[in-house]
Amino acid sequence: MMQQIEANWPVLGAVALLVLLVAWWLLARSKKPARREYRPDVLDEGVAPAQRNQALIDAPPAAAIDPVIPAPAAGVLGGVAEVVAVAAQDVVEEAEVARAAPPPPPPPPPAPETPPPPPEPEVEPAAPPAPEIEPAPPMPEVEPAPSAPEIAPPAPTPAAPEAPVADDLSRIKGLGPKLQALLPTLGITSYAQIAALTEADLAALDARLGPFAGRPAKDNWVEQAKYLATGDVAGFEALFGKV
């Protein structure tokens, strides 16, 4: 019972508030304002002196009279409590009925729409028979192409002439280190090459020697090279000095 009341306390509170408002309204209506009338006071000017109330004097003292307790308010509050209890019980019963009632069944699924029948296929007229294909004429025989003539192997390349063996050009008198470095760049590396130089060759060589032009003829390189090329050291030393 307490669990149900706790679960529905917002509803019960609203009902109790409503009942209290109704009770307050009923109590307010039962109390009418006192009727006010003007009565002259003994102190007013021209008013006769007050008369003695002999009945009040002869009445017993107030302590001897039993107090009268009005009962309308108690009856109203008792009715309000009964209304609140009945309303709370109704709310609890409605909540229990709502919880105990089975959930409504789900709506039935809509019936599937029946698809329309497919249209009947159109019957195409039978195709006419294909014409007979005549056999192709036989291909003419292809004569084999003549074979290409055999290519003769290339002639062997003649071997390059062997470069002359470099000689010690420093043995020639008047041929210093600078000329020893310059002559190989001009293609002169042996005694035989120098010994074979002609007058025209010496003139062409002088044009390429720069500041050393005229040295071959002045120091007689050709004669020295002839002795050294043949290995005649004695003849060389007899004319030009010791090697």
pLDDT tens-digit profile, the chain (243 residues): 667 667 777 888 888 899 999 988 888 777 666 566 666 666 666 666 666 666 777 776 665 556 555 554 445 455 656 766 767 777 667 777 667 666 666 777 666 677 666 667 666 656 656 656 666 666 656 565 656 556 555 555 544 445 557 888 888 988 889 998 999 999 999 999 999 999 999 999 989 988 998 888 988 989 989 999 998 889 898 888 887
* Domain-located, residue 142: no
Distance CA 223, CA 174 (A): 13
* Domain-located, residue 157: no
Residues 175 and 86 in one domain: no
* Domain-located, residue 224: yes
Radius of gyration of the chain (CA): 78
* Domain-located, residue 150: no
Mapped onto helix, strand or coil, the DSSP state of residue 175 is: coil
CA dihedral 32, 38, 40, 44 (to 10 degrees): 110
Angle (CA) 232 233 238, round 5°: 105
- What's the domain range around 230? 169-240
* Domain-located, residue 35: no
pLDDT for position 201: 92
Residues 88 and 175 in one domain: no
Distance CA 96, CA 171 (A): 138
Our count of domains for the chain comes to: 2
